[in-house]
Amino acid sequence: MLRKMLLGVALLGLSGMATANPYEHKLANGLKVIVKEDPRAPVAVSQIWYRAGSMDEVNGTTGVAHVLEHMMFKGTRKVPAGQFSKIIAEAGGRENAFTNHDYTAYFQQLQVDNLPLAFKLEADRMANLVLTEREFSKEIKVVMEERRMRTDDNPQSLVYEQLNAVAFGAHPYRHPVIGWMNDLENMRVEDARAWYQRWYAPNNATLVVVGDVKHDAVFRLAQKHFGALKPHALPPRKPQLEPQQRGIKEVTVKAPAKLPYVVMAYRTPVLRDAAGDWEPYALDILAGVLDGHPAARLNQSLVRESRLANEVGTGYSAISRGPGLFMIEGTPSEGKSVAELKQGIRAEIAKLQRDGVSEEELQRVKAQVVAAQVYQRDSMFYQGMLIGQMESSGMSWRDEKTLLQKLNDVTADQVREVARKYLQDDGLTIAALDPQPLETKQPSRSLTGERHAH
């Protein structure tokens, strides 16, 4: 449920780009093109990132960013509905898309000779998407069924959804990316069309290419296919700051399940100034101390020793457009309660706040982050993801050296300081699953139309 990707892993995954690679070029229409040359195999990953996610939605149309993502596969005048995926598949490639609170992205992985095909298709649907009532009425049903399967029928997903709804009182992170069901039921094709017209423009997009390519050739190719697209004025983005929290918030979710489940989320900062900030880096190391490896503190104490939990983990992302949460999740062992597990988690936090982190433990966590880098860098797709996430969240891939250095500069005292400052009840939201008797399993519902991973 919670994202396990540490910022440190992400940043170190970019460290191989520190020489003259990647390369950046901006077209006259505002489209930013970033190329990472990686000649290990004759393939390329092409990703187009739009800086428009669910946090840009307004009440009554939650989920529209994700719905439009689905509709982007429903055709243009040149490429009829269903043909985009077929054309890529016939070229031996694969494609998909995903929507986040902060952005929406589309990608293709294919032989490098077919990169012009990916550019041609993406440029076409950036400007020429045809949104019809017929296709929308079919696809909105697919999205509603996706919500039922991934959230309504998944008790942990329901807990996570309610956690965000309670933790954020004003910020749009309180809305689920997939949208509230009532909004989906009442959504119209005009809502999707307005979203497309508002946000889908070259001056609100970043094109990322990683693979066996030459950057100057990719820049020329981007100019050929995207250069003629017209930019347009983007709506002003208001700050949407979350008010100060003034005490514990708690919510209980009743749903059919075998075991209870709990998430404890603490309000924390995220990166806004790569060089000036230090707390997000320390929070990232803190996440590694608690849950960075099988012998980390929470797993060692609560799963192996006291057997309070079947599993326990942390989640923190320092790179985002909105406010941050440091999360600790867990499933109590059979016969143990959520209250007992919460008490065990609190005890581990108090121990860390009191005694801090040894230099040996700190160095071990950093070394594990570095080890993870080796695996991450094997993936061209992941290299592109890191660039796209940073660019779409208001940062730059050029911050990489600064970020890496700041992460490596984190001290044991800083880890204890952020634990003391932020893992406090006044900034805490707790969401717990109260398991209800499991119902007789019903025949699975079938989906119609295309489905894409998000």
Active site residues: 69
Question: Taking the CA of residue 276 as centre, how many other CA atoms within 13 Å lie in the half-sphere pointing to its CB?
Answer: 2
Whole-number Å distance between alpha carbons of 416 and 357: 7
CA dihedral 272, 273, 278, 282 (to 10 degrees): 40
DSSP string, 104-130: EEEEEEEEGGGHHHHHHHHHHHHHHB-
Whole-number Å distance between alpha carbons of 281 and 274: 10
Q: Which residue has the tokens 């690679």?
A: 21
Q: With contact defined as beta carbons under 8 Å apart, do 202 and 126 qualify?
A: yes
How would you classify the pairing of strands 205-211 and 32-37?
Answer: parallel
Helix 64-71 to helix 133-147 angle (10° resolution) is 120
Whole-number Å distance between alpha carbons of 6 and 376: 12
In sequence order, which residues have a C-beta less than 8 Å from that of residue 110 and are 6 or more positions away? 43, 44, 46, 88, 91, 92, 93, 94, 117, 118
Which of 44, 39, 42 lies closest to 218 in space, CA to CA?
A: 44
- Written as one letter, the residue type at 264 is M
Whole-number Å distance between alpha carbons of 319 and 16: 20
Q: What is the Cα gyration radius of the chain?
A: 23
Q: With contact defined as beta carbons under 8 Å apart, do 74 and 142 qualify?
A: no
Sign of CA dihedral 180, 176, 397, 272: positive
Whole-number Å distance between alpha carbons of 174 and 185: 19
Tokens standing for 86? 């077929």
Whole-number Å distance between alpha carbons of 70 and 82: 11
3-state secondary structure of 375: helix
Which secondary structure element, helix H or strand E, spans residue 73, and what is its range? none
Looking at the DSSP assignment, which residues form a beta bridge with residue 210? 36, 45
